[in-house]
Amino acid sequence: MTKKLLAGNWKMHGDLASVRKYLSVLRQNQALLNDSLAELCIMPPYAYLGAMQELSHLRVHIGAQNLAAYEKGAYTGEVSASMLKDMHCQYVLVGHSERRQYFHEQGDVLKRKYQLCLDHDMIPVLCIGETLEQREQGQTFDVLRRQLLEVLDGTSAEALRIAYEPVWAIGTGVSAKKSDVEEAHGFIKQTVWEKINPNVSVKVLYGGSVTEHNAAELLNALNVDGGLVGGASLDAARFLEIAKCINSFY
Ligand code: PGA
């Protein structure tokens, strides 16, 4: 079994007090972190990347939720790939559905962001997923294929990290069914190998209402190489429970 990746996406949550508390809970559980059979990563808001630098000493990667589509320049309010690299980010989300929905990110912009991560030696995690309407209209696979190809076509990346996050399962408390997850993940891998690069290694994470209660089922499913967890990652104890659950798969 390949090493799973468990990433916690805090979105725009938390404050300095909660960051400190989170780190102290992780510190108290250093043995569990040392024994983790999954790679762990926390993606706090940009503002707390500095305050969370200790993560790397705790054997947890630091990640970012987004990055600018430009190398540098007069782009007020943006954060560049090189800045994230300075903050020791290993992973960066590209194309999270909330970026697509509220900030209208797609196509070329996402392709540029993806490439900038690679240029700066960070690992982009491309997030894709269909809306409920698209699923009900039988468009799921078309949407996934389009979202994959518009960013990954021609990529030089040797290892791909993709998060399948059905939009209707994000933050709703209703996760996708195991069979739907397995089907989507199988489709994603097959599409990558057929249309992008037959030799590339690919990990597909599932995201969408993953909790410590459903992780055993969802994250051990066929073709599931990890999880992208939002709400349940905000509480260090819950995040650790999910990490523990992954240990039990091996
Ligand atoms: P959720 O969010 O776990 O709160 O559903 C997942 C995500 O958006 O990455």
Q: What is the pLDDT of residues 42-79, one digit of tens each?
A: 999 999 999 999 999 999 999 999 999 999 999 999 99
Helix count and strand count (H, E) for the chain = 10, 8
User: pLDDT class for 246, splitting at 50, 70, 90?
Assistant: very high
- E-strand ranges in the chain read 5-9, 39-43, 61-64, 89-94, 123-128, 159-164, 201-207, 226-229
**Under a CB-based contact definition with an 8 Å cutoff, are residues 81 and 117 in contact?**
yes
Distance CA 116, CA 94 (A): 11
**Two tokens, residue 16:** 């300095």
Ligand 1 site, residue 160, Cβ cutoff 6 A:
no
Distance (Å) from CA 48 to ligand 1 centroid: 19
Task: Please give the number of the atom of ligand 1 that sits closest to the Cα of 97.
Answer: 8
81 pLDDT exceeds 80?
yes
**Under a CB-based contact definition with an 8 Å cutoff, are residues 164 and 203 in contact?**
no
Q: Tell me which residue of 81, 89, 82 sits closest to 50, measured CA to CA.
A: 89
**Two tokens, residue 220:** 């051990």
CA dihedral 206, 210, 213, 216 (to 10 degrees): 10
User: pLDDT class for 39, splitting at 50, 70, 90?
Assistant: very high
Residue 2 pLDDT: 84
Using CA positions, which residue lies closest to atom 3 of ligand 1? Answer: 230
pLDDT digits (tens, 9 = 90+) for 106-117: 999 999 999 999
Ligand 1 site, residue 209, Cβ cutoff 6 A:
yes
Ligand 1 site, residue 175, Cβ cutoff 6 A:
no
Question: Is residue 88 among the annotated active site residues?
Answer: no
**Two tokens, residue 163:** 């998060």
pLDDT digits (tens, 9 = 90+) for 193-203: 999 999 999 99
Distance (Å) from CA 170 to ligand 1 centroid: 5
Task: Please give the number of the atom of ligand 1 that sits closest to the Cα of 98.
Answer: 8
Using CA positions, which residue lies closest to atom 9 of ligand 1? Answer: 230
Provide the β-strand partners of residue 6: 40, 227
pLDDT digits (tens, 9 = 90+) for 103-142: 999 999 999 999 999 999 999 999 999 999 999 999 999 9
Strands 201-207 and 39-43: unpaired
Global model pTM greater than 0.75: yes
pLDDT digits (tens, 9 = 90+) for 145-164: 999 999 999 999 989 999 99
Residue 1 pLDDT: 74
